């Protein structure tokens, strides 16, 4: 039993280490792909699997009813995640429907293969279908949080670039365009948002409205504060460079406070890996030989008495 527990702990630690390494490798690979040149592929005569899947999802989403109360919330979440297509909500509902049907069918086939009762097959199919319906929403939430973190990480660099551009004589509109071009490779999410602002300004939207839409579209609190600073500076005629520099100092102090808060929480967070990873290994190393010796020497002596 002790050997089995040790083996399970070792396998668990090895799997977690491998997953962490794969995640860091994928992140560095994505960074290198952004810096590289995208290869060009020859066009195929036959429709691709992705195109067929897209048509299937679009067809399923067109027939799936959407609640009028949930539709604006879903569109807002999709826009914050970067999906701005007019039919993004329909595609999302289609993915939910197709994935629910596929998982339900897979559950029925798996249950039928093991000759389970009919009520068990119905329960498994319902659970698999519900999981397929919930998984896209969970993935959207994870992707949305990841995109917010990416925008928040790129915001200090964008703010510093804005200060440099404004102090060099560029206007606010040209500054937004320049920052979007410069951050395209390093922080593509915030560069895309600035590009959308530039397109809205070129389409004739008021600058204050475009900036307010930027804050509402991303949902990042630090970016909303930056938008408020820019709108107030534009409304009252104050110096944009001075306002941006003051806001940059404020963001640095807030980032330092957040880092200190995370550092203070490390002691509490280390309790769980110490208790579940380090202490079992320590017990195996220190107490394991003693237990083996007792089992090997003491039990034969007890049996001979």
**Tens digit of each residue's pLDDT (9 = 90 or more) over 206-232:** 888 998 988 888 888 888 888 888 888
Average pLDDT in the 40-52 region? 48
Lowest mean pLDDT among 39-48, 145-154, 196-205: 39-48
Measured CA to CA, the distance from residue 273 to residue 43 in angstroms comes to 51
Question: What percent of the chain has pLDDT above 90?
Answer: 3
- What six digits make up the tokens of 274? 């110490």
Helix (H, G, I), strand (E, B), or coil: what is residue 270? coil
pLDDT at residue 39 tops 50: no
Model pLDDT for residues 253-266, shown as the tens digit of each residue: 888 888 899 898 88
Q: Nearest Cα to 144, choosing from 214, 220, 247?
A: 220
Helix ranges (DSSP H) in the chain: 2-35, 49-63, 70-80, 88-113, 118-167, 172-182, 188-202, 207-218, 221-236, 240-264, 266-269, 271-273, 279-304
The structural domains of the chain, ordered by start, are 151-266 (1.20.81)
Count CA atoms within 13 Å of residue 240 on its CB side: 23
Confidence category of residue 169, pLDDT binned at 50, 70, 90: confident
Model pLDDT for residues 183-208, shown as the tens digit of each residue: 888 888 899 999 999 999 988 888 88
Measured CA to CA, the distance from residue 21 to residue 13 in angstroms comes to 12
pTM above threshold 0.85? no
- For all residues of the chain together, what is the average pLDDT? 80
- Neighbour-count burial for 247-285, b at 16+ CB within 10 Å, e otherwise: bbeebeeeeeeeeeeeeeeeeeeeeeeeeeeeebeeebe
- What six digits make up the tokens of 82? 């970067």
**Angle, in degrees to the nearest 10, between helices 2-35 and 279-304:** 160
pLDDT at residue 156 tops 70: yes
Confidence category of residue 252, pLDDT binned at 50, 70, 90: confident
Angle at 163 between CA 157 and CA 165, to 5 degrees: 100
Q: Residue 133: left (phi > 0), alpha (psi -120 to 50), or beta? A: alpha
C-beta neighbour count of 190 within 10 angstroms = 26
Measured CA to CA, the distance from residue 47 to residue 22 in angstroms comes to 32
pLDDT at residue 45 tops 80: no
Helix (H, G, I), strand (E, B), or coil: what is residue 208? helix
The residues near 35 (Cβ < 8 Å, ≥ 6 apart) are 185
pLDDT on residue 42: 40
């Amino acid at each position: 039993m002790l050997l089995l527990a040790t083996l399970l702990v070792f396998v668990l630690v090895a799997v977690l280490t491998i997953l962490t390494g794969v995640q860091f490798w994928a992140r560095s690979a994505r960074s290198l792909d952004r810096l590289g040149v995208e290869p060009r592929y020859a066009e195929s005569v036959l429709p691709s699997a992705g195109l067929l899947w897209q048509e299937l999802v679009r067809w399923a989403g067109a027939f799936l009813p959407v609640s009028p109360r949930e539709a604006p919330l879903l569109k807002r979440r999709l826009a914050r995640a970067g999906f701005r297509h007019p039919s993004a909500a329909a595609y999302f509902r289609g993915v939910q429907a197709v994935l629910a049907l596929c998982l339900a069918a897979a559950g029925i086939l798996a249950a039928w293969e093991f000759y389970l009762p009919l009520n068990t097959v119905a329960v498994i199919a319902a659970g698999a279908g519900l999981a397929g319906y919930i998984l896209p929403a969970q993935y959207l939430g994870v992707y949305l949080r990841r995109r917010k973190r990416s925008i928040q990480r790129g915001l200090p660099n964008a703010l510093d670039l804005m200060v440099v551009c404004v102090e060099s004589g560029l206007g606010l509109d040209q500054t937004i365009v320049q920052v979007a071009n410069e951050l395209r490779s390093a922080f593509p999410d915030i560069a895309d948002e600035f590009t959308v602002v530039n397109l809205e300004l070129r389409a004739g939207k008021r600058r204050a409205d475009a900036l307010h839409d930027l804050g509402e579209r991303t949902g990042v609190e630090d970016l909303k504060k930056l938008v408020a600073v820019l709108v107030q500076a534009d409304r009252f005629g104050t110096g944009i460079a001075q306002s941006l520099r003051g806001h940059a100092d404020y963001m640095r102090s807030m980032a330092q406070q957040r880092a200190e808060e995370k550092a203070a929480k490390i002691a509490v967070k280390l309790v769980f890996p110490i208790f579940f990873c380090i202490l079992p290994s320590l017990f195996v190393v220190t107490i394991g030989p003693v237990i083996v010796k007792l089992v090997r020497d003491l039990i034969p002596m007890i049996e001979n008495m």
